[in-house]
Structure 1
């Protein structure tokens, strides 16, 4: 599974760094390093809805506060 987090300026201001750090920790905690590939990209063109995160090409809007819920629903549930 490929998870791409926008780290462009707008998403950065909305907390993309915290989202990245939380996702890295959650992937490690759940021992999914071999199943989930995390990556970053600059501007996905949807700045109003950032922090933008794609899971296998499907775009989601995530905030530092919703990262854990997003992980449970969109990543953990789909890789198990």
Structure 2
């Protein structure tokens, strides 16, 4: 199982974490992956200056809402279907 954790702390919230969570939820439903990917939120992950902090398993990414689809395709789908 892949685990995605999105920071929902105040800094990341202001940078669009809610939009990112909503997009990831939509992509998981569209691709029927709710049973293969665990999506959760977390407060500050200590990368506030870099954008919305998203942890994929143990790797940290910094996203904006417009990067979310590319992140999903390049990182999540690639790991599930390699």
TM-score bracket relative to the smaller structure: over 0.9
User: Equivalent residue for 1:54?
Assistant: 55
TM-score (norm 2): 0.95
* 1:1-80 superposed matches below 5 A: 1-80=2-81
Computed over aligned residues only, the root mean square deviation of the Cα atoms, in angstroms, reads 0.5
- With the length of structure 1 as denominator, give the TM-score of the two structures: 0.98
Q: Comparing both structures, which one devotes a greater share of its residues to strand? A: 2
* Displacement after TM superposition at 1:46 (Å): 0.7
Query: Which stretches in structure 1 are left out of the alignment for 5+ residues?
Result: none
For 2:74 and 2:55, the matched residues in 1 are separated by 13
